[in-house]
Amino acid sequence: MTTRAIPVVVLAGFLGAGKTTLLNHVLRYADGRRIGVLVNDFGSINIDLLLVSGQSGGTVDLANGCMCCTTDAGDFAETLETMAAPGTGLDAILIEASGIAEPKALVKMVLAARSASIAYGGLVYVVDAANFDRTVAEHPQLTDHLAIADLVVCNKVEMVDAAEVDRLADRIRECNPSAPLLPVSHAAVDPDLFFEPAERIATDDGPRQLTFDELLREDTEPEHEHLHGGFDSAALDTASPVDPRRLARFLERPPEGAYRIKGTVFVDLPEHRDIAYTVQSVGGFVRVDAGSWRGRTPATSLVVIGAGLDAVAAREALDRVVQPGDRDDTNGILSLTRHLITGS
């Protein structure tokens, strides 16, 4: 049975760009997910709005099931390991980088924690559309941070005109030509872009009690229309097996605009037909887990999620992954299994 890995997303960005707003937005719209947050201090979280159900030392439990912990670079690895333990029941972890470590160092720490319980979820970098040029002029090193981002959120676009947004997009792509770019207002990014949707509590359409998240949204934002920054996706569901070499190449070099790729694939090769390979890719960082098809029919299901994604081109790339490969290419499977996670 495949161990479910918890995605760990690193959140960084310009001072005043909207990281705190984005963090609180994700917690407010957790929508049934249990999200763990690592911060340097609780000043980054609107505790009063989200309501506290319990507190112990550097840990605060929120009424919607989420958890917030304080840490610094010295305790980071230990705190992350504790949060990722199966007993916490968390679905995802979000790290607010300010005061803990530089984004590049944090990414290295998460990647160093390569295990069956943790999956790198990407570096999300937030920039301020209204003050981009001034901020970069005062802190030119921030362009180095932008260059390693897996997703760039261009916040406060409501404060500039469309021509300026286009100009900023060009500037950002000069620093990082491959990362998806998501223009948003009020840091309203749909959590589905970062994390898997939580399983629905009820499947019937009859009357039911509102969840805490639904009550919170009704109470705090009665006229809110859920205006998240949009994202794009392309999906493939087929009974056909994948060509492992082509799949590995696709995961390692995702299509332009792709933030993450995920799915389960069927490899029709001796000694691999009974293995359900679960694959994930964020920014070209690939993770593969091996499970079993027991009780299921082998098939391939893949989805690409991103911003500014050419969905048609992405679907064409997905189709190429399941085109028949070279049956004599006995080493092709190694392109995929070299990313395999083993151990606990």
Q: What is the dihedral sign for C-alpha 161, 164, 168, 170? A: positive
Q: What is the dihedral of CA 14, 20, 26, 30, to 10 degrees?
A: 160
Q: Give the residues across from 263 on adjacent strands.
A: 279, 302
**pLDDT tens digits, 18-55:** 888 898 888 888 888 888 888 765 455 544 444 433 44
Identify whether residues 138 and 24 lie together within a single domain: yes
Identify whether residues 211 and 255 lie together within a single domain: no
**Is 1 a member of any domain?**
no
Query: What CATH number does the domain containing 254 carry?
Result: 3.30.1220.10
Query: What CATH number does the domain containing 112 carry?
Result: 3.40.50.300
Identify whether residues 190 and 240 lie together within a single domain: no
> Given 177, 200, 225, which residue is the final one in a domain?
225
**pLDDT tens digits, 110-151:** 888 767 788 899 999 999 999 999 999 999 988 999 999 999
Identify whether residues 215 and 261 lie together within a single domain: no
* pLDDT for the residue 71: 67
Identify whether residues 217 and 269 lie together within a single domain: no
- DSSP letter at 274 equals T
The amino acid at residue 84 is A
**What is the domain range of residue 292?**
230-337
Identify whether residues 160 and 213 lie together within a single domain: yes
For the chain, 344 residues long, the average pLDDT of each consecutive 10-residue run is 76 87 85 82 47 45 61 72 83 80 84 79 95 93 93 95 95 94 93 74 38 43 45 92 96 93 93 94 92 95 92 95 78 92 66
**Is 343 a member of any domain?**
no
**pLDDT tens digits, 103-116:** 888 888 888 876 77
Q: Give the residues across from 187 on adjacent strands.
A: none
What's the structural domain count of the chain? 2
Q: Which ranges in the chain belong to alpha helices (H)?
A: 19-28, 47-50, 76-84, 103-112, 132-138, 142-147, 162-175, 212-220, 244-252, 311-321, 334-337
- Matching residue, tokens 């997009």: 169
Q: Is the pTM of this model over 0.85?
A: no
Identify whether residues 164 and 18 lie together within a single domain: yes
> Given 225, 259, 289, which residue is the final one in a domain?
225
Identify whether residues 38 and 185 lie together within a single domain: yes
Q: What is the dihedral of CA 74, 76, 81, 83, to 10 degrees?
A: 130
Identify whether residues 218 and 285 lie together within a single domain: no
